Amino acid sequence: MKKKIKDTRGWNPFVGCRFDCAYCKASYKKLVEWNGRCLHCQQCQTYEPHYHPERLGRLSSERVIFVAENGDISFCDPAFTRKMIDVMKEDKKEDRVFILQSKNPAYFADILPLPQNTVLMTTIETNRDYRVSKAPLTSQRYHDFLQLDWHRKAVVMEPVLKFDLPVILDWATELQPVAIFIGFESKRKCSLEEPTTLQVQELHNELRNLGFMTYDKAECKYRDVFNTKLG
């Protein structure tokens, strides 16, 4: 039997988030509770930010590692994040790629520098400041991400919300992300201001015309997108 190749492997010495995104509540509540029960961890069940230092030494052999996948790393004390970064720096796997993602990209400024094989990602669902969570508004995320002096940034537009195409194109031109992931709300269990399929396809086309690599978030694999040759 051919061995199944995984997309990424989460590494979760830190778990939890307090942004209360409307779409995350619908998508992840049952999964989070189930994981917490399996791990016999009450805080994992409630998604309250907390630490699992015993996992620091459990770095998977998968090529792409999503750091703090089960939470938003901006709720992690920078001192503990640096412990994770120390493990990343000591990693010897030559083609390894680490992903750090947050809806509060200003946090990344407190933990730079990072290993060169790290991709920083933030979620920018739209240029419009819809209030669908307690996270910083998307205009603030764009500004904070722009200020970061880092060579490998990626943007996630999921769940993509109604947007103004010229503004998104300007933002991408300023940010120069190595990849842009675009996708609709996967579970369709909450009411969102979503664009049409045709509008999203136009977004892909216009971004690609400017030279950006865009991907359907539901279809792509991070292991195929991210490699150590990216800018």
User: What is the predicted pLDDT for the residue at 4?
Assistant: 45
- Domain with 139, as residue range(s), is 9-225
Does a structural domain hold residue 3?
no
List the single range of 15-24, 63-72, 122-131 with lowest mean pLDDT: 15-24
Between 188 and 57, name the one with better pLDDT: 57
Long-range contacts of residues 26-33, Cβ cutoff 8 Å, at least 24 apart: 26/187, 26/189, 26/190, 27/185, 27/186, 27/187, 27/189, 32/70
> What confidence tens digit (pLDDT) does each residue in 156-214 have?
999 999 999 999 999 999 999 999 999 998 655 567 899 999 999 999 999 999 999 99
Q: How confident is the model at residue 30 (pLDDT cuts 50, 70, 90)?
A: low
- pTM, whole model, 2 decimals? 0.90
Name the E strands within 31-134. Answer: 50-51, 64-67, 97-101, 118-123
Does a structural domain hold residue 126?
yes
User: What is the predicted pLDDT for the residue at 5?
Assistant: 47
User: What is the predicted pLDDT for the residue at 1?
Assistant: 36
Q: What is the CATH number of the domain that holds 214?
A: 3.20.20.70
Does a structural domain hold residue 75?
yes
Does a structural domain hold residue 2?
no
Does a structural domain hold residue 155?
yes
Does a structural domain hold residue 231?
no
List the single range of 30-39, 62-71, 217-226 with lowest mean pLDDT: 30-39
pLDDT score of 2 more than 50: no
Does a structural domain hold residue 4?
no
CB within 8 Å of 184: residues ≥ 6 apart: 158, 159, 160, 194, 200, 218
> What confidence tens digit (pLDDT) does each residue in 115-143 have?
999 999 999 999 999 999 999 999 999 99
Number of domains within the chain: 1
User: What is the predicted pLDDT for the residue at 6?
Assistant: 59
